[in-house]
């Protein structure tokens, strides 16, 4: 007889990340297979904790992750949770709270903290290395969001899993439809980057190429939209006095839709990416994206995007120059191919693939 799947959604305690939106839609669409009560760290609830309560839970959860990373002795002080039902983990760090079993499911957004530790805060690599060693030992069911992440996992840990599949996230519904609201300091024409600001997303490289080409003198703005992550201060300091560069910080959905709808092009030459939801969203809004020529972004966007070497300033300049010079007919031709490529990221397809995964693990019809 089948059984409902438990859900660990502590990721939602910080609900401004791309990972949160991916997992939120999975949980909503897969509700027939999932327990109604969701666990947020050690608290079960039918509703997402908010405000001060969410911040307290998030802080306590972070302390437990660090303590469990430092020593296995913490297991004797605070035993790990046990669940008879399969558990869906929305983020790898959550496995540290549980006694794992091969029926559990882990969503693997990327393994960047292991492959590119310099892009993360001190200690993050140790946390994730411990996590993935435990995941490999327990041989969980792993769902990767890109083929690139799956290949990287297998390169490091081999095929140490019960099952593995790639299910790309759907384009967020709220990113496409709804009212719009202008961002006051932004004027057209402008190029747009959406994503956490820091070393990993390489906004600094894009800003340098933008300056070298003299696009600001031609009346073009470069808009950087997103909250901070490691390396953000370097980006903020470097572009503070740079003509034409506007840093908006984190914006609401109405303003984000306006930015997508009015940009002249999309720019995201990331050095590391788990999936790259903003690239698919940009294409859905009719923007040709400039992205890195390897990894998840090239996989998501496809060959009709403008592909560049993100660490080669001359190639970044070449890509920006090409993006700005596209005629309307060239834009339309590229968009035909780009839109066909992102047809893989529809909510209906994602829901069907996830329900198939849930059915296999739960035994429910």
**Alpha-carbon gap, residue 160 to 269, rounded angstroms:** 32
Q: What is the pLDDT of residue 175?
A: 75
Residues in the chain with pLDDT values less than 70 = 1, 16, 174
Three-class DSSP category at 185: coil
**Alpha-carbon gap, residue 7 to 90, rounded angstroms:** 8
Supply the CATH classification number for the domain 173-344. 3.40.50.2000
Reported as type and span, the H/E element at residue 89 is strand 87-89
DSSP secondary-structure letter at 105?
E
**Alpha-carbon gap, residue 340 to 286, rounded angstroms:** 12
Q: What is the pLDDT of residue 177?
A: 77
Q: What is the pLDDT of residue 241?
A: 87
Listed by start position, the domains of the chain span 6-170+346-362, 173-344
Three-class DSSP category at 261: helix
Instruction: Give domain 6-170+346-362's CATH architecture.
Output: 3-Layer(aba) Sandwich (3.40)
Strands of the 105-108 sheet, one edge to the other: 43-45, 38-40, 6-8, 87-89, 105-108, 141-144, 163-166
Q: What is the pLDDT of residue 120?
A: 87
- CATH topology of 6-170+346-362 equal to that of 173-344? yes
Q: What is the pLDDT of residue 16?
A: 66
């Amino acid at each position: 007889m089948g059984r409902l799947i438990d859900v660990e959604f502590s990721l939602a305690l910080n609900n401004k990340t791309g990972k949160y939106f991916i997992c939120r839609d999975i949980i909503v669409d897969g509700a027939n297979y999932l327990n109604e009560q969701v666990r947020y760290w050690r608290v079960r609830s039918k509703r997402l904790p908010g405000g001060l309560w969410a911040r307290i839970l998030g802080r306590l959860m972070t302390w437990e992750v660090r303590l469990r990373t430092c020593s296995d002795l913490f297991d004797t002080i605070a035993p790990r949770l046990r669940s008879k039902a399969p558990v869906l983990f929305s983020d790898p760090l959550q496995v540290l709270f549980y006694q794992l079993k091969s029926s559990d499911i882990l969503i693997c957004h990327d393994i960047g903290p292991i492959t590119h530790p310099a892009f993360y805060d001190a200690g993050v690599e140790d946390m994730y290395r411990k996590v993935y060693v435990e995941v490999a030992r327990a041989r969980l069911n792993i769902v990767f969001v890109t083929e690139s992440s799956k290949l990287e996992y297998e390169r490091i840990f081999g095929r140490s899993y019960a099952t593995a599949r790639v299910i790309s996230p759907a384009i967020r519904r709220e990113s496409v439809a709804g009212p719009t609201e202008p961002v006051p300091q932004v004027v057209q024409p402008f190029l747009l980057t959406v994503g956490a600001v820091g070393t990993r997303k390489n906004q600094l490289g894009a800003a340098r190429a933008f300056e070298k080409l003299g696009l600001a003198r031609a009346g073009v703005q470069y808009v950087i939209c997103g909250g901070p992550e490691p390396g953000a201060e370097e980006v903020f300091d470097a572009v503070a006095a740079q003509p034409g560069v506007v840093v908006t910080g984190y914006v609401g959905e109405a303003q984000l839709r306006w930015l997508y709808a009015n940009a002249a092009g999309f720019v995201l030459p990331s050095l590391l990416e788990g999936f790259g939801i903003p690239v698919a969203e940009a294409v859905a809004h009719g923007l040709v994206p400039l992205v890195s020529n390897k990894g998840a972004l090239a996989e998501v966007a496809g060959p009709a995007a403008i592909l560049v070497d993100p660490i080669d300033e001359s190639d970044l300049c070449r890509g920006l120059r090409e993006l700005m010079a596209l005629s309307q007919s060239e834009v339309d031709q590229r968009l035909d191919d780009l839109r066909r490529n992102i047809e893989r990221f529809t909510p209906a397809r994602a829901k069907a693939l996830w329900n198939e995964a849930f059915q296999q693990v739960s035994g429910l019809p």
